[in-house]
């Protein structure tokens, strides 16, 4: 029997770019479901895309760490979700390519692009990198506005957050 994965859909967007923006995520593990969203007054699409993933992973890390401490104090085994694979589904090629292709080169070059310019959103990439180092999520690109219910829900939540 294959162990279930924690599946996280994330999205971010802006009204204008830059402009008021929103982020959202939908998280599933079996029948468990969580969604969260937020907004910033002056931001960019890419910052909101990164913020969605960071907030989802930060929530998961905090919850996992607390659960592990609690189980250890009781000498009880942790629940299955604590060690489950984590899959991030994003419609942002910026996030997908950034984490899987560009990040190692940026770090090697001292946070410079191939053109020797500073990496945009470095502080967010550093937060995401730290979370990924600890949680080891797998990133998948999904096509936006293609009828995937969880991706569409994220998109709707982003719209609500921006309003």
Known active-site residue 42:
no
Known active-site residue 13:
no
Known active-site residue 129:
no
Q: Determine which one of 13, 40, 49, 150 is catalytic.
A: 49
Q: Determine which one of 12, 13, 22, 98 is catalytic.
A: 12
Known active-site residue 105:
no
Q: Determine which one of 11, 13, 40, 98 is catalytic.
A: 11
Known active-site residue 65:
no
Q: Determine which one of 101, 110, 143, 145 is catalytic.
A: 145
Q: Determine which one of 22, 91, 98, 150 is catalytic.
A: 91
3-state secondary structure the chain: CCCCCEEEEEEEEECCCCEEEEEEEEEEECCEEEEEEEEEEEECHHHHHHHHHHHHHHHHHHHHHHHHHHHHHCCCCCCHHHHCCEEEEECCHHHHHHHHHHHHHHHHCCCECCCCCECCCHHHHHHHHHHHHHHCCEEEECCCCCCCHHHHHHHHHHHHHHC
Q: Determine which one of 21, 40, 98, 155 is catalytic.
A: 155
Give me the active site residues, please. 11-12, 49, 91, 145, 155
């Amino acid at each position: 029997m294959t162990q279930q994965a924690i599946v996280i859909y994330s999205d971010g967007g802006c009204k204008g770019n830059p402009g008021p923006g929103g982020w959202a995520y939908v998280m599933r593990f079996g029948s468990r479901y969580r969604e969260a969203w937020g907004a910033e007054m002056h931001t960019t699409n890419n910052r909101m895309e990164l913020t969605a993933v960071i907030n989802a992973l930060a929530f998961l890390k905090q919850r996992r760490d607390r659960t592990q401490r609690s189980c250890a104090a009781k000498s009880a085994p942790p629940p299955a979700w604590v060690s489950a694979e984590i899959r991030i589904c994003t419609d942002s090629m910026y996030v997908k390519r950034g984490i899987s292709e560009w990040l190692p080169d940026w770090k090697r070059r001292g946070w410079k692009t191939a053109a020797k310019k500073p990496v945009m959103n470095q502080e967010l990439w550093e937060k995401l990198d730290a979370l990924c180092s600890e949680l080891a999520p797998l990133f998948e690109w999904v096509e936006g506005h293609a009828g995937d219910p969880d991706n569409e829900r994220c998109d709707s939540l982003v719209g609500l957050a921006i309003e």
